[in-house]
Amino acid sequence: MATTSRRTAGILATSAGVSIWGASSTMVKSIDGIDATGISFHRLVLGAILLVTVHLVRGGRITWSMLRISALGGVAFGLDIVLFFSALRETSVANATVIGALQPILLAPIGVRLFGEQLGKRVVVWSLVAVAGTAVVVLGATGVPEWSLRGDLLAVGALGSWTLYFVASKQARRQLGTLEYFTGLSVVACAVVAPYALVVGADLSPADASDWVTIVLVTVFSGALGHVLLNWSHEHVPLQIVSLLTLLVPVVATIGAVTFLDESVSALQWFGMAVVVASLAVVVLERPAKEPREVGEPVPT
């Protein structure tokens, strides 16, 4: 596939994945009968079972080498799930998701140093505008009933874990195929979070069938489909572009929270989201100043 076609396909896959994530944030917030660690436990256990099954049915194997390469991404991913789900339960959906969207600030120097990525001046400028838009969303949320400083701090912790996950995924995808890698990191994440949930005595019993249905939907669409799309795109799109597209998550999530959870959103927040979307439109239409380094062909999955 030509470089331009690969980049276009990668951007489309990333956009679909982050839209799914935005919707799932609202779904997680809607679960009332179980705590955040319990939701994380079921999300990761079900996700690992699903992905291992698909991987084995397709003729793949679970190897120590696969788990070793996936280990850092798996640990970071498991930590992110626990922290982010906890943030969703303690602060507004808009705040929890928009703080995570500040990731480009952390990733910009990493992508250049580790992966040889370089962006043109217009992309850099509009990236800063997009990040400023997310800051407006956060500032506009202070004082609303759903806001919580503790929840915002949990979201900051999730931001750090999410950034590490992105970098680890970019490196691991040089050696593993998309499904193989995400199966491996899901096994590792489950192995890290499941014992933690049991040790801290997390509530593992959803109150009713609707909670189970929501957890399964979050697992299948956000946990499997969304992340597989994002991990596939890592091979074809610069790290910074993938991260910038995740700025769509707060927009989708906030619209869902307002529509289905009756959360409060100020006019200032809506303005900030409009700035984010407009900036992203410029970013994704700009060609990178330097095409990303080609990586080795992934192991067939």
Nearest Cα to Cα of residue 117 among 284, 267, 241, 269: 241
Q: What per-residue confidence (pLDDT) applies to 1?
A: 58
In the prediction, which pLDDT does 84 show?
Answer: 95
Q: What are the two backbone dihedrals, phi and then psi, of residue 288, each rounded to the nearest 5 degrees?
A: -65, 145
Strand partners, 290: 118
CB 215 within 8 A of CB 42: yes
Could you list the mean pLDDT of each consecutive 10-residue stretch along the chain, which spans 301 residues? Answer: 76 87 91 91 94 94 96 96 94 87 74 70 82 82 79 94 90 88 95 94 84 91 79 76 76 89 87 84 61 35 30
Residue 142, C-beta contacts closer than 8 angstroms, at least 6 positions apart: none
Specify if 128 maps to a domain: yes
What are the phi and psi torsion angles at 205 (to 5°)?
-115, 95
Helix 36-57 × helix 209-217 angle, to 10°: 50
Distances (CA, A) of 238 to 140, 162, 219: 31, 17, 27
* Position 12 in a domain: no
What is the pLDDT at residue 298? 30
Does residue 59 belong to any structural domain of this protein?
Answer: yes
Asked whether residue 4 is domain-assigned, the answer is no
Number of domain units in the chain: 1
| Domain membership flag for residue 103 | yes
Please report the pLDDT score of residue 52 as a whole number.
95
**Distance between CA atoms of residues 156 and 169, nearest Å:** 20
**CB of 253 closer than 8 Å to CB of 26:** yes
Structural domain including 125 reads 19-285
Q: Which residue in 35, 50, 69 sits closest to 188, CA to CA?
A: 69
Question: Is residue 232 one of the residues assigned to a domain?
Answer: yes
Considering the domain boundaries, does residue 104 fall inside one?
yes
Q: Is residue 300 part of a domain?
A: no
The whole-angstrom separation of Cα 203 and Cα 167 is 32
Confidence (pTM): 0.81
